[in-house]
Amino acid sequence: MSDRVDLAQSAAPGRIFDSPWIRALSALLFVFLLGIVFHADGAFFQWGTHRDMLRQISVIGMLACGMTLVIITAGIDLAVGSILGLNAVLFAMLSLRLSWPPLLALGACLMTGIACGAISGTVIARFKMQPFIATLAMMVFARGLAKSISGGEKVSGAVAQPDGSYAYVDLPRIFQAIDHKVAGGNVAVVTLIFLGCILVCWVLLAKLRWGRYIYAVGANEEAARLSGVPVNLVKLLAYSLSGAFAALAGICQAIQEQQGDPEAGATYELSAIAMVVIGGTSLMGGRGRIAFTLIGTLTIGYLEKILSINAVSEASRLILTGIIIVAAVLLQRKSR
Amino acid sequence: MLLSMCNICKSFSGIPVLQDVSFDLNPGEVHILAGENGAGKTTLIKILAGVHTDYHGEIEMDGRKVRFASPHDAARKGISVIHQEMSLVGSLPVIDNVFLGREMRRWFSAGLLVDRARQMTKAQELCAWLGLDLDLNRPVDDYPLSIKNRIEIAKALAFDARILIMDEPTSALSEPEVERLFQVIAELKRRGKAILYITHRMEEIYRIGDRITVLRDGRWIGTAPARELADAELIRWMIGRELATHFPAGSKEHGDERLRVEHFSVAQPGASTAQTERWLVKDVSFAIRAGEVLGIAGLQGSGNGVLLEGLFGAWPKAVMGDVYLDGKPLSLRSPHASIQQGLAHVTSDRKGTGLILGFDIAQNISLASLEAISPWGFLRKKKEEEMAARQVQSLSIRGAALTQEVQNLSGGNQQKVMLGKWIETSPRVFLLDEPTRGIDVGAKHEIYELIQRWKADGIAIVLITSELQELIGLADRILVMHRGQISREFSREQATQEKILRAAMGEAWIN
């Protein structure tokens, strides 16, 4: 909650792991050292490797931003992967098939994401349903909606003609603008968008009154309510923002793939939760930072990148990732 | 003698809660354990039930020394607690609850299979004599509280309990249900069970008690047959000698009427007024002036705490009645609305609902007034620190940095942080529920001084405290609540601990 070091804890000597910063960074450092050791013939020392890693984690990282807000309120949002898929399809439909102006399509998708989040938030806040159940329902619902509007097919610029050939729609400019690298080809635009999401969350959590409310609701909902915190609105805000970030991620995904895949984003919600938790944000709520989520995102990103440049098979990659997540979370718990 | 407890001592983190307490039980008797809140009754029964295992002293059953290792161990040796909060699993069928943890096994199954038929026969037999006509396969939650209460007794009997501990079993029951329970207790006595009964209600003590033991401040005061202990004597035992404590003198001048409460009722929190059968507060009316301290006395379960919560808007759906602040109707739709209208409420449970333990001092103090220090929604950290520093200084919260998490503070400092939070909202009415609970004498005295200061500032204060001396020392007027209603009103001059306690225990029943 605050940058200031807790007095009681810092007074105890030799408890360096008591700082959540150190704990979060140590996991990242460990993975980074793995990369230096297993550098795959110097591939790890090329900036291109890091740039690609950053590009690859950006979409899930956006989901992790919203997930952080929700988890700090002591909730969980399982629907983000499906909302991503829904908006990937929706954006592809609107911009490729219906030729909507890009900004209009973007706005419509964001509103859809917010609406999905707001529905989850309302069910959780107003009707006191458990976040796990409510967002599980939204996860299934949004995936169904994605399949329904796309007819179960990938929505791309290639349109089947009656004679069996394909006509290709010109990709709108926004596709090039976002699927693009800036700063001499060294940074992907989606990475900048992801960092923008981190910044938005940071401003909210660290600078705004509503950010404080988010922590208060997660730490002690009843005490917060009795202190005049509008608990229901706070939850609504957290889930709506999570929906908005998921929609943004869906748009980026559609642009990168140049199509809207109704299956896009499946299981991404689990990766996003892993990123938040590895950073050290507590699932109990009330504690955590967006910076930890950034660290957690990088940790998972590097882990997967290092495993893939060393040509570790996907099966082994999953097994190792699972082990690392448990180890990292145990590390978090140790001094709590 | 079935049970005797000798010279029991128990302390929590160095603070003694029980000192040399002795207690015994005979078969077929109801032994009342009486005492004010905090006298040590609950600790004593928790030792007997095997919850607290690190005590000094000796317990004998049937003349043999015993020491309970766990609640399960105590239950196996024949001690059963009928809890204030039900210990039943609501979603499980009645039959499974009755035998939970001690299922009857089929002899050939190596303890794996439950003998449902035998359980059913036994349960039906128990229910029959408890006067329960139930579908044993239906979940417990299908039945009302009064039935649940008797299901708990059935559970105790299924365990072959010889000692039943009943901790305020009637607090949630209506009159006819209480009657029914008393019949069951009479039957239990006839069958030679011993009953340890805790109650705050005078009428129950004399109605069913055979003997009475009184505890005060963790010490044994006396044991006497109920017939020989007059109620006046009983109350003297509970209160003890007056300790001379100095209370700061406050102004007797009061301003205009600040808060008026008319026909105010509160249903069970969570329930709505339309569907409740039980009112925790019923038809309460009073008024309070600016600069006045109104004390509301009442024993546990009397509804005084719920009254304050209701007035603060904590249960918007559960309240009925009219409340006026400075002559204007007060909206009770949420705590947020109440704060904006000028109410503040210090809860009695500072760790559970009063503070956010993981937040630091500054974050806790600012929590109820963040709107004032965040123009355009941006939280001004500097203003927050100023606010906190101001309260830390004015309340003398010592030896703590603003950035210290409140969970690391002493009880007294935590209490002051909570008060500071509410003072920053500039309240016109201050609802204080046990503001001195669990803090040391020095800190208590500082809080007395603060109350006088707020009084002088023209804040109307409604005060609940279970320390009667404190109530008489601080309040200008005292209302006494019993079973959700106001049973008496005293001026400060009229009030004595005896009179208040009598009214709080329901004197109408003993005259």
Cα separation, B314 vs A223, in Å, equals 11
Distance of CA B307 to the CA centre of its chain: 14
Look at residue B199 and tell me whether its pLDDT is greater than 90: no
Phi first, then psi, for residue A276 (nearest 5°) are -65, -45
Cα separation, A15 vs A113, in Å, equals 43
> Each residue of B393-449: pLDDT tens digit?
988 887 678 888 888 887 788 999 999 999 999 999 999 999 987 777 677 888 999
Quick one: pLDDT at residue B11? 83
Bridge partners of residue B211, in order along the sequence? B31, B225
> Is A228 in Cβ contact with B339 (below 8 Å)?
yes
Q: Which amino acid is at B273?
A: T
> Each residue of B230-243: pLDDT tens digit?
888 888 888 775 55
Please list, in sequence order, all residues whose beta carbon lies within 8 angstroms of the beta carbon of residue A78, skipping any fewer than 6 positions away. A132, A135, A136, A138, A139, A269
The per-residue DSSP string of B194-239 comes to: EEEEE-S-HHHHHHH-SEEEEEETTEEEEEEEGGGS-HHHHHHHHH
Whether residue B427 contacts residue B344, with contact meaning beta carbons closer than 8 Å, is answered with yes
- Token readout for B194 is 């011993």
Question: Looking at CA atoms only, how far is residue A39 from chain B in angstroms?
Answer: 42
What three-state secondary structure class fits B87?
A: coil
The per-residue b/e assignment along A131-163, b for 16 or more CB within 10 angstroms, e otherwise, is beebbbbbbebbbebbbeebeeebbbbeeeeee
Look at residue B260 and tell me whether its pLDDT is greater than 60: yes
Residue of chain A whose Cα is closest to the Cα of B372? A209
> Is B374 in Cβ contact with A209 (below 8 Å)?
yes
Quick one: pLDDT at residue B245? 60
A219 in contact with chain B, both atoms CB, cutoff 8 A = yes
Look at residue A8 and tell me whether its pLDDT is greater than 60: no
Look at residue B305 and tell me whether its pLDDT is greater than 80: yes
Radius of gyration of chain A (CA): 21
Most A CBs within 10 Å: which of B341, B367, B380, as the mutation test of the A interface?
Answer: B367
Chain A residues inside the 8 Å CB shell of B359: 1, 215-216, 219
Residue of chain B whose Cα is closest to the Cα of A208? B378
ipTM: 0.84
Phi-psi region of B138 (alpha: psi -120 to 50; beta: other; left: phi over 0): beta
Cα separation, A243 vs A145, in Å, equals 15
The residue written with tokens 């893939």 in the block is A308
Cα separation, B416 vs B435, in Å, equals 9
- Average pLDDT of span A146-153: 90
What three-state secondary structure class fits B53?
A: coil
Position B275 confidence tier, pLDDT thresholds 50, 70, 90: low
Nearest by Cα to B504 from B306, B282, B301, B297: B297
Instruction: Outline where DSSP puts E strands in B111-208.
Output: 163-167, 194-198
A8 in contact with chain B, both atoms CB, cutoff 8 A = yes
Instruction: Outline where DSSP puts E strands in B290-369.
Output: 293-297, 319-325, 328-329, 343-346
Chain A residues inside the 8 Å CB shell of B401: 7
Cα separation, A225 vs A232, in Å, equals 9
Q: Report which of residues A97 and B60 the model is more confident about.
A: B60
Position B509 confidence tier, pLDDT thresholds 50, 70, 90: low
Touching B: A residues 196-215, CB under 8 Å: 207-213, 215
Position A5 confidence tier, pLDDT thresholds 50, 70, 90: very low
**DSSP-assigned letter for residue A45:** G
Cα separation, B336 vs A162, in Å, equals 63
Look at residue B13 and tell me whether its pLDDT is greater than 70: no
> Is A8 in Cβ contact with B405 (below 8 Å)?
yes
What three-state secondary structure class fits B477?
A: strand
In SS3 terms, B257-302 reads as EEEEEEEEEEECCCCCCCCCCCEEEEEEEEEEECCCEEEEECCCCC
Neighbours of B225 (CB within 10 A): 11
Position A15 confidence tier, pLDDT thresholds 50, 70, 90: low
Distance of CA B178 to the CA centre of its chain: 20
Quick one: pLDDT at residue A192? 94
Cα separation, A246 vs B263, in Å, equals 51
Helix (H) / strand (E) element for B38: namely none
